[in-house]
Structure 1
Amino acid sequence: MSIRGELFTTQVLLDNRSYFFNVKENRAGDVFLQIVESKKGDGADFDRHQISIFAEDMQKVLAGLDDSLKFIEKERKERAKRRAEIKAAKEAKYALGGSDKKVYRKKGEEKKDDGIKRTGKVIHIKSKK
Structure 2
Amino acid sequence: MGQRGEIFTLKRFVEDGGLTYFFNVKENRYGDLFLNLVESKKKDDRFVRFSLIVYSEDYAKFSEILETAVTKLKAEVPDWEHELKTGSGKRKYKFTVKAAKNRELYLIVSESRVGSDENYENVSIRVFKRNLDVFLEGYDQAASHMKRA
Aligned partner letter, 1:36 = V
Matched residue, 1:21: 23
Give the share of equivalent positions with the same residue, in percent: 43
- Extract structure 1 runs of 4+ deviating beyond 6 A: none
Aligned equivalents of 1:33, 1:73: Cα separation in 2? 24
TM-score by length of 2: 0.47
Aligned equivalents of 2:55, 2:64: Cα separation in 1? 14
Q: Which structure's CA Rg is the greater one?
A: 1
Aligned equivalents of 1:28, 1:56: Cα separation in 2? 14
Gaps in structure 2 of 5+ consecutive residues: 78-149
Aligned equivalents of 2:21, 2:70: Cα separation in 1? 18
Aligned partner letter, 2:26 = K
SS at match of 1:69: helix
Once the two structures are superposed, what CA deviation does each residue of 1:24-49 show, in whole Å capped at 9, x if it has no partner? Answer: 00112110000111111222x21011
Aligned partner letter, 1:35 = L
1:71 Cα shift? 1.4
Matched residue, 1:116: none
Aligned residue pairs, count: 75
Aligned partner letter, 1:4 = R
Q: What is the RMSD computed on CA atoms of the aligned residues?
A: 1.4
Does residue 1:73 correspond to 2:82, yes or no?
no
